[in-house]
Amino acid sequence: MALPILGLFLWGMLPAQVPGASPALLPVPATQAVLLGEGAEPERVARLQALVEAAEKAQEADDEATAEARSDEADVLTADWPVQLLNRPDVQALLQRLKEVQEQLDAEADEDTRPGLKSAGEVVTITGEELRAELARVKAAEAGASYDFPIDLNDKVLTWVSQFSSTKRGFMENALGRASRYLPMIRQVFAEEGIPSDLAYLAVIESGFRNEARSRAKAVGMWQFIRSTGRIYGLTANAWVEERRDPVKATRAAARYLKRLYELSGDWYLATSGYNAGPLTLERAIENLGTRNFWDLARSRWLRTETKNYVPELCAAILVGRNPARYGLSIQPLDPYVYETVLVPSRTSLALLARWADTDLASLKLLNPELLRTSTPPGAYTLRVPPGKAIECIRRMASKVPAKEPGSKTYVLRRGDSLVAVARRFKVSAEELLDINQIARAQFKAGRRIQVPSALPQEAGEAPSPGHASGGSRRSPIPLVVVPAIPMTPALDSSAPQGLEPAQAQPSPGPQALPKPPSVASAASGVTEMPPPAAASQALRLEGQILRAAPGDTLARVARAHQVPLGELMRLNPDAVKRLHPGDPIRLPGSRQPQASTGPSLGAKGAVYRVRKGDTLASIARRHGVSIQDLRDWNGIQGGRLLKGQRLHLGPR
């Protein structure tokens, strides 16, 4: 875990968050403020008061876990409140009480308590015959193996090997079982960043490969980032997402942080020690002792016991993790962490998305552990879905209007209304109705104002029903929404459980010379890219940027044959989503198409586009066939914020 001050040391900048800032002074995005419905203020303030009182009572009873849980719930509850509500005197008083609870929790937090294997106490080193026997066992287990992380077989390391195969055996078996899910992805990311792949076993020490791990020092996720360090390395944390729990993004951040520490210290033992203690703590110890040898530092009083144990624990974890069976461990491997991605255009219930993707809610949450609520955040969000489910999810999402879109309406629960009856009346499931309104079953009571769909979801090809709960009017045709693209990233070979490889590993050229996989994208999505079918390539006749479909062609086959995103083809050819006839034109990305009066020709020099409500750089670039970076360069845009009515040049000036 890294310390907050490392931001000054690594980048010469303070964290963006000001310590002690009152929640009432934080800006609330407009997209979140609208979620607070009319008549909901008294209920939400009452809920905040109940949470604050529960946190105070738990703190008085020395139940810190409950106090922290209620405090976190209060933070999430108030995250999307409008400033007018936050500034009310009664709310300010509650927020001040909440702040006092949190400050006391922080003051009492024991930083030596960690969710992984980091040991704060002294460990008695084995000696004599036990040491010789352990050394012989390790040499036999590691015969012929090579590692890209330096490993010393001294008494400290051998002691931890003995611990991992005896007293801590249960923890290691569970941790390495979870590791089998993430190791393929971690190795790919580490290879891309140019650091030793054996450093993947650092997650055994930090968290036991648990994304939900949280220490009492507020470090979160598999790699145990605190908030300020995570922010420096691009990990977002707010009321909707906690990217320190995102296995892919947090792994990328950990790799870059470790690489930076190695660049500063020139030694992997010092780099990993700095990951635990903080680089400034380590530099002070080096300066006071006059040596850069980790083992000399470990014998001094300048490092905490936890940091002294950190490197021996890591070396032992690598030895045992690479060959668990040879140390008597029984590992139950899990399925690899592989997925496809779907761009969800607006805040949508996870239960609804799980149904669209033909999967279960638990699988969706497992792939997206960074989501803190039962829906995606406001605005567009890239969601991970199980392999093979993205196309169906895109198709069903394109033919439906989510219940939380502006087309929803308000319904006030009346006496006698039951959850099942109301859900049946508006043709949604009871679980979806609860998810839409972010309430529990116990909160479904008379007098509550809830949101219900006014434009009901409709299956593709289903005939409109003669009427619905709001009357007998027929539904108007639902327009096809913009369909996102699915990134096609090659998968790692998952035919054998990763992390359980035999000892005969190939030598590594070193941390700075690790080869990158031949075709690795920036994120390890694990989606296998299919080779272009020869038949489809020969059957299509290219006419400029327009293809003519041959018998048997589908958009999926065309996408594979021409290596373009399927979602983009579906967006450009909405009439071909359901059926494609021989001879039908298929527009490829970047092809010119008739322009509406609101937009100029694609990328034309001097062409100008006026930003409309809801536009983003990505949507404008996709609509006009240009890149986001070109839009930035042509218009001198640094960030991604656009204003309604702003004029954008769509070509070089």
Mean of the pLDDT values across residues 234-258? 93
- Reported as a single tens digit per residue, the pLDDT across 137-160 is 999 988 888 899 999 999 999 999
pLDDT of residue 428: 75
pLDDT of residue 410: 82
Residue 301 · residue 26 · CB < 8 Å: no
pLDDT of residue 441: 84
Task: Kindly tell me if the per-residue pLDDT of 172 is higher than 60.
Answer: yes
pLDDT of residue 627: 76
Per-residue tokens: 175: 């941790």
pLDDT interval class at 315 (50, 70, 90): very high
Per-residue tokens: 159: 């002691």
Mean of the pLDDT values across residues 587-609? 54
Task: Kindly tell me if the per-residue pLDDT of 345 is higher than 60.
Answer: yes
- Most confident listed range (20-34, 94-108, 398-412, 542-556): 94-108
Q: Rounded to whole angstroms, how far apart are CA atoms 365 and 641?
A: 30
Mean of the pLDDT values across residues 187-210? 95
For residue 128, count other CB atoms closer than 10 A to its CB: 7
- Reported as a single tens digit per residue, the pLDDT across 249-289 is 999 999 999 999 999 999 999 999 999 988 888 988 999 99
Residue 562 · residue 529 · CB < 8 Å: no
pLDDT of residue 107: 55
pLDDT of residue 120: 67
Q: Rounded to whole angstroms, how far apart are CA atoms 452 and 497?
A: 46
- Reported as a single tens digit per residue, the pLDDT across 439-485 is 778 888 888 988 887 544 333 333 333 333 333 333 333 233 333 33
- Most confident listed range (274-283, 361-370, 595-604): 361-370
Three-state DSSP class for residue 343: strand
Residue holding tokens 């470090």?
A: 219
Three-state DSSP class for residue 529: coil
For residue 294, count other CB atoms closer than 10 A to its CB: 25
- Reported as a single tens digit per residue, the pLDDT across 176-186 is 999 999 999 99
Per-residue tokens: 139: 């040499």
pTM passes above 0.75: no
Q: Rounded to whole angstroms, how far apart are CA atoms 418 and 420?
A: 6
| Residue with more model confidence, 578 or 533 | 578
